Amino acid sequence: MPSLLGNIFKGWADYSKGVEEGGHHDYEHMFAMVIDLDRCTGCNACSTACYAENNLATVGEDKFGARQAMHWMRIERYFDEPDMDPDKDKVEPANETDTQSRGASFLPMMCQHCNAAPCEPVCPVGATYHTVDGLNAQVYNRCIGSRYCANNCPFRVRYFNFYENAESWPAPMDQQLNPDISVRTKGVMEKCSMCIQRTRAGRDAAKREGRDLKDGDIQTACQQTCPTSAILFGDLLDENSVVSKVWKRQQVKLGTYKQDKENSELRGYRIFEELNVDTKVLYLERVREV
């Protein structure tokens, strides 16, 4: 049984290496994002682009209200506590959140592609796993819809096809479906893939031309569409990529839940860092005058 033992030893070597190096194995790329909340205007263009790029079903008002929508990228709105509003005396108490003079803060939320993803170990059929690109991938054909992954996601960014959403694309609208990605059937879990069809195409193109992947070869749909360039996407293993420069400048590292920041003024943070899920989306805090 040399091959079996070999696999066991190799598995042990990978495991101990992962423990020493912070839970990683040999990645070819480590695609990650930076989202600057100071630049985000809450325009929802990224969300719309995601709908167009990834064949997301539009479920209609009723199902949206029932929280059965399929928006992989959602713009979350956060309001100040009413007491913090400098003009709180002018606001009707009944609708104070709607009429805050300062308006809302926005946070684009999608799959954080955790390196220690809670959704991955719980899937009974292994339909969600980590790729060598450092992405948390979902295999639609393998998914049987036990929905354990969504229950275990602290960000609640996994979306389930509660219905056969084919009426989202009545003819001739089905002509505008993206041919590079499937249309999911009912009973399947789906989520942001960081536009896996684009990352694959970019990698393949680089391989065909016999060169390494350059920063900027791949753009995700949300990044491409953002009018204020609030979203950056790139490879963290590439030292020269913009994303890895921003991560370094913000003194945020992968593989730890406690960042030692020398400068507490730095705006970069990862959501739910304390859960140690090791997310790969760096948010830059919004700065507002008090």
Partner 1 sequence: MSAQQNLANKHLTDEQTKDIDENIEWAKINADVLRSMENPRRGYWVAMAISVALFSVMIYAEVHQYIYGMGDAGLNTSHMWDLYISTFVFWIGMSHSGTLLSAILHLVHADWRKPIYRFAEAMTTFSLLTAGIFPVIHLGRVWNFYWVMPYVSDRGLWPNFRSPLIWDAFAITAYLTSSVLFLYIGMIPDLAICRDNAKGWRKKLYTWLSLGWRGDDAQWRNFRFTYLMIACLLIPLAVSVHSIVSMDFSMSIMPGWHVTTFPPYFVAGALYSGCAAIITLFILLRYFFKFEHFMTMPILDKVCKLTFVIAMVWTYLNLVEFASVWYGHDIPSKEVLLAKASGPYSPFFWGMMIFGSVLPFALLSKWVRRNMYVLFFVSVFLNVGMWLERWMIVTPTLSLGYHPQAFNVMWPGWVEWAMVGGSFGWFGMLFLVFVKVFPSVSMYEVKEMVYHRKRTVYEDVDEMMNLHSGVPGPVPGSPPTPAPQSTGGA
- Interface residues with partner 1 (CB under 8 A) are 63, 66-69, 74, 76, 109, 118, 121-126, 142-148, 150-152, 154-156, 158-164, 185-189, 272, 275, 277
Residues in the chain: 290
C-alpha pair distances (Å), 113 with each of 38, 118, 187, 192, 231: 22, 10, 22, 9, 15
Report the residue number, 131 or 224, with the smaller CB distance to partner 1: 131
Report the residue number, 109 or 194, with the smaller CB distance to partner 1: 109
Report the residue number, 35 or 243, with the smaller CB distance to partner 1: 35
Structure tokens at 267: 């705006």
The Cα 23–Cα 280 span in angstroms is 13
* 31-36 and 231-235 strand pairing: antiparallel
Min dist CB 184 to partner 1, Å, is 10
Min dist CB 169 to partner 1, Å, is 17
Report the residue number, 160 or 233, with the smaller CB distance to partner 1: 160
Among candidate residues 96, 74, 76, the one with its CA nearest the CA of residue 85: 96
Min dist CB 126 to partner 1, Å, is 4
Q: What SS3 class is residue 172?
A: coil
Report the residue number, 17 or 186, with the smaller CB distance to partner 1: 186
Among candidate residues 289, 285, 230, 278, the one with its CA nearest the CA of residue 116: 278
Element (H, E) at 214: none
Report the residue number, 126 or 227, with the smaller CB distance to partner 1: 126
Q: Which residues make Cβ contacts (< 8 Å) with residue 98, sequence separation at least 6? A: none
CA angle 22, 30, 200 (to 5 degrees): 145
Backbone dihedral angles phi then psi of residue 35, each to the nearest 5 degrees: -125, 120
Report the residue number, 183 or 206, with the smaller CB distance to partner 1: 183
Min dist CB 189 to partner 1, Å, is 7
Min dist CB 200 to partner 1, Å, is 21
Element (H, E) at 137: strand 136-138
Min dist CB 215 to partner 1, Å, is 31
Residue in this structure with the two tokens 């070597």, named with its chain if needed? 13
Torsion on CA atoms 46, 169, 202, 22, rounded to nearest 10: 60
